[in-house]
Amino acid sequence: MQLNIRRRLGLMFVALVTVLYAALPNVSAAEDMTVPRWLGSWATSPAPPDLGGPSVAGFDNQTLREVVYLHFGGDRVRVRVTNAFGASPLALGQADLALRGPNASIFAGSDRKLTFGGRVSMTIPAGAEVYSDPVNLRVRAGQELSVSLFLPSGTGPTTWHSFADTTNYVAPGNHASDTDGTAYTSTTTHWFFLDGVDVAAPRTDNAVVALGDSITDGALSTLDANNRWPDFLSRRLNSQEDNRTSVLDEGIGGNRVLNNAPCCGVNALARLDRDVLSQDGVRFVILLEGINDIGFSQLSGPETAPQTDVSAEQIIAGYKQIIAQVHLKGLKVFGGTLTPFKGAAYETPAGLVKRDAVNHFVRTSGAFDAVIDFDRATRDPNDPERFLPAFDSGDHLHPNDVGYQAMANAIALSPFRSAGEGS
């Protein structure tokens, strides 16, 4: 009798599971891949406020109109606003998205008022970021968007990105919806509170994140030309008819693998999850960082503190941690060799030896899924520790526009084209 009851209960359980399973949507793996997901089209790395200047002064009853250069297109767009390093809640009175016109203007008819959970205004808690609700707006790679943020009350010290290499605009009062940009009477070359623009894309599309320092950030490239090496890489990819890869620039000027600095954001290990692993649609990572870990030991002052004299072995240990964490997420990581810096303020005999040791690891260890030899692409063959003069911006540390293009040209496109189905 007891066995019979157990048998009946078992049959009832099987029947219940069968009914529940039958009620689930019948979606095959192939069909599921056709459902759009969010893919990063533009991104930048948020950083804490500096020791002085506009990031400390903040904004009060002002509108920021910030310009971004898209690396991937789509028909639906959303924006990410961040208060990651704010000490207090950030009041956002209004946010608008539009196709950028000349200077601070936007193209008529393209303005979209953004909402956040259906609300036009919201308060972003300290340490948080928010996504806008999607809006219908057809955009393409190579276009510039304007994102206008009205900040109705004092923000205090800001979350920002110092090296925008782009002219952005500031207006008194609320001018988020203005088509004519005449109210924007001030300019800035920083991004504030803005760290991502996503598009809806097929799941077969992917993103590559460029994790690095000022050389990835495009320092000393021509203002407003969008000539950072990730921009050149994006244009190369988008020249291919079958391109399925966006490029996200997560470089921070002065950034280090192992240490924070007031000028230059939190270290690469500390920002890896936010700036790389949580990016929408990411499948590949290009790591190019470590030159500031070597060079900051030659500097002084509070902006670049601590001026630690790290070894090549310590930098390599940091690389290994980044590689391990990227691989745990099922992503591929490509290692970039450090570019020359002979003649720069960073140069010391010991520093050049460290660079060579780090580059030897990148080239020969097999720890990376592939190697991108930025060093070989930019060095002077007659003086390999120095930039080729045609690629030197003049400070012997950063490339010029032609040098950034040479860096992008050193990247094989085949790994991105043969990626297969998106993750």
DSSP string, 141-187: TT-EEEEEEEE-S---S--EES---S-EEEEES--TT-SSGGG--EE
Task: Choose the CATH number for 203-423 among 3.40.50.1110, 3.30.365.10, 3.30.420.10, 3.10.20.740.
Answer: 3.40.50.1110
Specify the range with the lowest mean pLDDT, choosing from 23-27, 280-284, 286-290, 312-316. Answer: 23-27
pLDDT category, 16, cuts 50, 70, 90?
very low
Q: Is 375 exposed, middle or buried (0-12, 13-18, 19+ CB in 10 A)?
A: buried
* 2 pLDDT higher than 90: no
Between 299 and 290, the higher pLDDT residue: 290
Report residue 267 as tokens.
């270290």
Whether the per-residue pLDDT at 26 is higher than 70: the answer is: no
- Read off the pLDDT band of 242 (50, 70, 90): confident
pLDDT at 417: 80
List Cβ neighbours of 234 (8 Å cut-off, separation of 6 or more): 71, 72, 141, 246, 247
* Res. 62: pLDDT tops 80: yes
Place of tokens 């088509």: 179
Give pLDDT, residue 153.
Answer: 98
Mean pLDDT within 168-188: 98
> How much is the average pLDDT of 5-26?
42
pLDDT per residue as tens digits for the range 74-127: 999 999 999 999 999 999 999 999 999 999 999 999 999 999 999 999 999 999
CB atoms within 10 A of CB 221: 25
Residue labelled with tokens 């953004």 = 114
pLDDT at 24: 40
Total residue count of the chain as it appears in this document: 423
Q: Give the model's confidence band at 374: pLDDT under 50 very low, under 70 low, under 90 confident, else very high.
A: very high
Query: Looking at the predicted structure, is the pLDDT value of residue 407 above 50?
Result: yes
Task: Kindly report, residue by residue over 293-350, the tens digit of the pLDDT.
Answer: 999 988 889 998 999 999 999 999 999 999 999 999 999 999 999 999 999 998 999 9
Sign of torsion over alpha carbons 47, 209, 307, 378 = negative
Whether 379 has a pLDDT exceeding 50, the answer reads: yes
Whether residue 268 is predicted with pLDDT greater than 60 in this model: the reply is: yes
What does the alpha-carbon distance between residue 79 and residue 195 come to, in Å, rounded to a whole number? 8
Give the pLDDT of residue 355.
98
Residue 199 pLDDT greater than 50, yes or no:
yes
Q: Where are the domains of the chain?
A: 38-201, 203-423
Among all chains, which residue has been given the structure tokens 């016109």? 101
Q: CA–CA separation, 247 vs 70, rounded Å?
A: 9
The mean predicted confidence, pLDDT, of the chain is 92
pLDDT at 382 over 90: yes
